[in-house]
Chain A
Amino acid sequence: MTPATKDEIRDAFRRGSAVAIAAAPFAVLFGAVAIDNGLTIAEAALMSATLYAGASQLVGVELFDHNVAPWLVVLSIFAVNFRHVLYSAAIAAHIRHLTFWQKATSLFFLTDPQFAETERRADAGIRVSYIWSLVLGLSVYVPWLCLTVVGGLLGNLISDPKAIGIDVLLPIYFMGLVLGFRSRANWLPVVLASSAGSILALHFVGSPWHVSLGALAGILVAALMPLDGDEAAVGDVVEGEA
């Protein structure tokens, strides 16, 4: 191993560990909420291992509890993760030099922080190597998985989430994510339309349709708003989930 490679590994591990610490409460939260919503610890761990996308995992387990149709759970997971399409499009130029399998594996780890760190490294004029991407990804992935199990074990001990206040953490977490996107075009009209749409749909149609109907209201508003010039939509999506 060359000294340069060692430096890359050290840099990736250091940055990945910082992300892992910030994301730790969410991994524990996910594990606990998953158990609370009727998943087993093995299922929660499998979800962290294969989806590896915090917000969509929380959305997914939230819907599990509402007896939502399976296709709608999958569609919701897809919808929440749709921003990754923009991420992988944005970093395409930075990872084009990798081989097919290197791209196929490193893109599995493409979370919000992985995207942000990749953009930052490329901005600094450093080539994004496979080993750097992989170490960065794994140093977030492994703690995420382990802490999901820890959260699951804690979740089994908690009989009434309301008594210890963790029932509000999920809506607050999602609100934080929504606020994180507020620099985007049409953010306020979209949020207002989705809020009104989901509350009305919950009242008149019922759960779980309020999720898709409310989201549709916001997306339609965005599509119908006047377009103002060439906004770089791909570049300004760094903020978001932890």
Chain B
Amino acid sequence: MDTLFHMQTLLIIAAGAIATYLTRVGGYVFITRMKRIPPRAEAALNAVPAAVLTTLVAPAAVTGGLDVSLTMAVALLVGLRLSLLPVLAIGWVVVMVLRQVIG
């Protein structure tokens, strides 16, 4: 590692930090000035986290190979019952076992 920071990375982090802070104060500023959000806009905003995060899961589960697909299927089933940390632990064990078995 020759440098501590890269210019472009630094700028992305700075912009990301500002964007993140704006989301944290934005709702307060907005709600203290406005009475009501249009229901369809609210429904759309409400869907944002699931919609964005799903795009990081589904393609990986489909294109990552049989070991990853099976692991994600198991994680989905246990994820309906258990919380995040046990699901991660189970998923990790499953993928390690599958890689021993499949190759």
Taking Cβ atoms with an 8 Å cutoff, the residues of A that contact B are 22, 25, 39-43, 46-47, 50-53, 55-56, 59-60, 62, 64, 70, 73-74, 76-92, 95-96, 103-104, 107-108, 110, 156, 162, 164-181, 184-187, 190-191, 193-199, 202, 210-212, 214-225, 227, 233, 237, 240, 242
CA distance A62 to B20 in the complex (A): 17
B contact residues, range = 35 or more
Within the complex, the shortest CB–CB distance from A53 to chain B, in Å, comes to 5
Contact of A79 among B13, B26, B52, B57 (CB under 8 A): B52
Which of A84, A186, A227 has the most chain B CB within a 10 Å cutoff? A84
- Could you list 22 A-B pairs, sorted by A, with CB under 8 Å? A43-B13, A47-B17, A50-B16, A56-B16, A64-B9, A78-B16, A79-B48, A80-B49, A85-B23, A88-B24, A92-B31, A164-B96, A165-B96, A167-B68, A172-B88, A173-B88, A179-B79, A194-B50, A194-B58, A199-B62, A212-B55, A218-B50
Inter-chain contact B54/A218, CB cutoff 8 Å: yes
Given the contacts A42-B5, A233-B42, A169 and B21 also touching, CB distance less than 8 Å? no
Cross-chain contact of A70 among B12, B56, B79, B84 (Cβ < 8 A): B12
Evaluate contact between A86 and B27: CB separation under 8 angstroms: yes
**B19 x A77 contact (CB < 8 A):** yes
Given contacts A25-B88, A46-B13, A214-B58, contact A88 B50 (CB under 8 A): no
The answer, yes or no, to whether B102 is at the interface (CB within 8 Å) is no
Chain B residues with CB below 8 A from A211, complex form: 52, 55-56
B11 part of interface (Cβ distance < 8 Å): yes
> Which residues on B sit within 8 Å (CB–CB) of A107?
21, 24-25, 28
| Contact indicator per residue, chain B 68-102, by CB within 8 Å of chain A (1) or not (0) | 10011001100110011101100110011001000
| Whole-angstrom CA separation of A184 from B42 in the bound complex | 12
- Supposing A81-B23, A92-B28 touch, asked if A178 and B12 sit within 8 A by C-beta, the answer is no
Query: Which residues of chain A are within 8 angstroms of B52 by Cβ–Cβ distance?
Result: 59, 76, 79-80, 194, 211, 215, 218
CA distance A216 to B85 in the complex (A): 29
- Nearest B-chain residue to A83, judged by Cβ: B49
Shortest beta-carbon distance from A35 to chain B in Å: 9
Shortest CB–CB separation between residue A83 and chain B, in angstroms?
5
The distance in angstroms between the C-alpha atoms of A50 and B13, with both chains bound, is 8
CB <8 Å contact, B87 and A172: yes
A176-B84, A176-B87, A202-B63 known; A83+B26 contact, CB < 8 A = no
Q: Is the CB of B61 within 8 A of A89?
A: no
A175 to B45, Cβ gap below 8 A?
no
Considering the chains assembled together, what is the distance between the CA atoms of A164 and B77 in angstroms?
A: 23
A89 contacts B44, C-beta separation under 8 Å: no
7 other A-B residue contacts (CB within 8 Å) besides A74-B12, A175-B72: A171-B72, A177-B49, A198-B58, A215-B48, A218-B47, A219-B47, A222-B43
